[in-house]
Amino acid sequence: MDGLYDWFLLVTGFNGANIFRQDQENPDLGTEVNWLTYKEVSGLVRDYPLYKTTASEDNPGTQVDSARIIPGESIVSVNVYAANGADILRKLWLSKYERDPRVILKSAGVTLFQMSGPRDLSMLSDTKWKHRFQADFTFRVFTQIVETDYTVDTTELTGTIEDDTITI
């Protein structure tokens, strides 16, 4: 999920040091600082790739490129620690209609498909953090694998195999 960090950075406007993928048990950064954590929590990979074979532009007639595009989904849980966290999460969702966020997500090989939330989790437990809002974002993921195959020259063989009863 490379590229998500860049997407969060662009859309939220948070300081890059306040967007956490790892070390999610981050310390309290104070009431004047907003921050975001994210983690991939679920996903699936389809078992039926899209398949396309094309003649190679480099070696037409001898080389064939076979592309398999494997669709899937990834669900990423996002927590925003800010008084306006619900608005920030909605802003992330609505960014799918803007060009720059789409370019960033496309470079990561994903498209934003669905959002569930936002949920206000501020009062669920006694927490040292300030306001906390959470949403799950579902991304369509496309993995592409390209194999190069070569056409073998056609040859003729003559002879017999072992017991002389099979003729080639």
Predicted pLDDT at 27: 55
pLDDT beyond 60 at 101: yes
Predicted pLDDT at 23: 60
Sign of the alpha-carbon torsion through 105, 92, 94, 13:
negative
For range 112-130, the mean pLDDT = 76
User: In terms of pTM, does the model score above 0.85?
Assistant: no
Domains in the chain and their CATH numbers? 4-167 (3.30.2000)
| Strand 160-161 versus strand 166-167 pairing type | antiparallel
Predicted pLDDT at 77: 93
Q: Which two tokens stand for residue 96?
A: 């799918």
DSSP character at residue 57: S
